[in-house]
């Protein structure tokens, strides 16, 4: 059993006695007339039955990737190699002998020339072309570079890009929850009912982010269609909805080694868990479930990781 799945069972064990375990009691979806309608029922933190329904535009849902493919370094380097070979053909063979070879997840570039100045110029241009090709590959496939809290370099899904691109699409979903709260309610009432819904969505475990290469991450469209997701997937979905609700409020994605939270720049209340970054205070929220945490409440494992500063932050623009 991996660590994430073990933590999931610990959540269940810790909160079963209090009844504070998320439970989705009904889920339906129907596609017609260019839209998909979603209907949910679940139990909130007070054990009350809640329900929500909303319709999303299918064309907008299909605008981004429906699923996130695993990052495979050898495929990325194959793309880079092809691009480098195209660039190499632009140079006069009389000026330099260029050899470009892929060896697994590495690409070697060898340049020989009698003219030292041309040699330096060609080497520099090929190095730039290699970097550009790799960046293009990441952009095309919704990946991004990532440095973990342990200072490891890795590649992961571009969570913030998904959030930015899906916010507009999910406005009807965000509005559906806005209509459920009282007119005099503050943001916490909105987030608490939203969180209870997300936490009730069935959970898929996340392996270590730096080692999984994106395995298991479900973009918002896929999560909604399949009605399940891991912590990264649920956090991205929640952030997309939250950004539609609060378009001007600072937010961050909080990435722990094998978990994810959100931080929202609300004025903290006594006892709420927060982090500070760049002069801002962010109240933490736990979208994952199955434990029903409200705004400012986080799991003991999350609290320990945050206290140890075992996290990285990604600003949600």
The confidence score (pLDDT) of residue 21 equals 87
The confidence band for 179, taking pLDDT boundaries of 50, 70 and 90, is very high
**Domain identity same for 151 and 229:** yes
Looking at 123, 140, 157, which one is the last position of a domain? 140
pLDDT tens track for 217-226: 999 999 999 9
What is the C-alpha radius of gyration for the chain, rounded to an integer number of angstroms?
Answer: 23
Same domain, 87 and 226: no
Helices within the chain (DSSP H only): 3-16, 58-61, 73-88, 116-140, 159-166, 171-178, 187-200, 209-212, 220-226, 231-245, 300-307
- What pLDDT sits at residue 231? 93
Q: How many CA atoms, within 13 angstroms, populate the side-chain half-sphere of residue 218?
A: 22
Claim to verify: residue 152 and residue 277 sit in the same structural domain:
yes
Distances (CA, A) of 198 to 74, 165, 191, 231, 250: 36, 19, 10, 10, 21
57, 84: one domain: no
Q: 125-134, 202-211, 266-275, 280-289: lowest mean pLDDT where?
A: 202-211
Indicate the pLDDT class of residue 208, thresholds 50, 70 and 90.
very low
State the pLDDT at residue 205: 65
Are 43 and 112 within one domain? no
pLDDT tens, position by position, 247-290: 999 999 999 988 999 999 999 999 999 999 999 999 999 999 88
Looking at residue 91, its pLDDT comes to 94
My answer on whether 201 and 285 are in the same domain is yes
pLDDT at 270: 95
Per-residue pLDDT at 258: 87
- Mean pLDDT across the stretch 71-77? 95
- Same-domain check for residues 54 and 161: yes
Q: Same domain, yes or no, for 187 and 263?
A: yes
Assign 7 a pLDDT band (cuts: 50, 70, 90): very low
- Contact predicate 168/60, CB 8 Å: yes
Of 9-13, 70-74, 130-134, 246-250, the least confident: 9-13
Residue-number span of the structural domain to which 102 is assigned: 73-140
Domain boundary among the residues 81, 109, 140 is at 140
* pLDDT at residue number 213: 41
Are 242 and 158 contained in the same domain?
yes
Q: Do 251 and 121 lie in a common domain?
A: no
Report the predicted TM-score, pTM, of the whole model to 2 decimal places.
0.88
Kindly indicate the confidence band of residue 10, based on its pLDDT and cuts at 50, 70 and 90. Answer: very low
Which one of 140, 166, 190 terminates a domain?
A: 140
- The structure tokens listed for 62 are 């299909």
Torsion on CA atoms 53, 54, 59, 63, rounded to nearest 10: -90
With CA atoms as reference, report the closest residue to 19 among 39, 48, 40, 41. Answer: 48
Distance CA 317, CA 236 (A): 13
| CB proximity list for 305: less than 8 A, separation 6 or greater | 256, 257, 259, 311
Each residue of 13-69: pLDDT tens digit? 444 434 478 899 999 999 999 999 999 999 988 889 999 999 999 999 999 888 998
Nearest to 248 by CA among 268, 235, 265: 265
Q: Residue 211: pLDDT band by 50, 70, 90 thresholds?
A: very low
Residue 164 has pLDDT above 80, yes or no: yes
Indicate if 127 and 201 belong to the same structural domain.
no
Query: How many domains is the chain partitioned into structurally?
Result: 2
103 and 163 in a single domain? The answer is no
- Average pLDDT value for residue range 131-137: 97
Asked if 291 and 11 count as a contact pair (C-beta separation under 8 A), the reply is yes
Pick the closest to residue 275 from 244, 247, 246, 308 (CA basis). Answer: 308
The structure tokens listed for 267 are: 């004025």
- As a dihedral over the C-alpha atoms of residue 171, residue 175, residue 30, residue 44, rounded to 10 degrees, the angle is 120
């Amino acid at each position: 059993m991996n660590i994430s799945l073990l933590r999931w069972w610990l959540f269940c064990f810790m909160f079963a006695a209090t009844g504070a375990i998320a439970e989705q009691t009904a889920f339906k979806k129907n596609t017609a007339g260019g839209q998909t309608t979603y209907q949910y029922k679940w139990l909130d933190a007070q054990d009350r039955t809640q329900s929500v329904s909303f319709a999303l535009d299918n064309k907008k849902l299909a605008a981004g990737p429906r699923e996130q493919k695993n990052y495979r370094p050898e495929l990325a380097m194959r793309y880079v190699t092809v691009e480098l070979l195209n660039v190499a053909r632009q140079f006069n063979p009389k000026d330099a002998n260029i050899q470009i070879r892929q060896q697994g997840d590495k690409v070697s570039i060898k340049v020989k020339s009698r003219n030292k100045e041309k040699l330096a110029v060609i080497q520099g241009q090929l190095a730039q072309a290699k970097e550009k090709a790799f960046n293009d590959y990441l952009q095309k496939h919704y990946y991004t570079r990532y440095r973990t809290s342990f200072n490891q370099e890795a590649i992961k899904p571009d969570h913030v890009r998904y959030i930015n691109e899906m916010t507009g699409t999910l406005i009807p979903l965000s509005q559906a929850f806005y209509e459920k709260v009282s007119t005099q309610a503050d943001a916490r009432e909105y987030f608490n009912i939203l969180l209870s819904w997300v936490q009730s969505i069935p959970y898929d475990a996340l392996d270590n982010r730096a080692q999984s290469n994106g395995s298991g991450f479900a973009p918002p469209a896929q999560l909604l269609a399949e009605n399940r997701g891991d912590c990264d997937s649920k956090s991205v979905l929640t952030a997309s909805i939250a950004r539609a609700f609060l378009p001007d409020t600072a937010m961050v994605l909080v990435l722990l080694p094998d978990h994810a939270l959100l931080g929202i720049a609300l004025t903290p209340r006594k006892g709420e868990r927060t982090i500070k970054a760049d002069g801002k205070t962010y109240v933490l929220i736990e979208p994952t479930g199955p434990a029903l945490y409200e705004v400012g409440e986080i799991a003991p494992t999350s609290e320990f990781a945050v206290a140890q500063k075992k996290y990285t932050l990604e600003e949600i623009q």
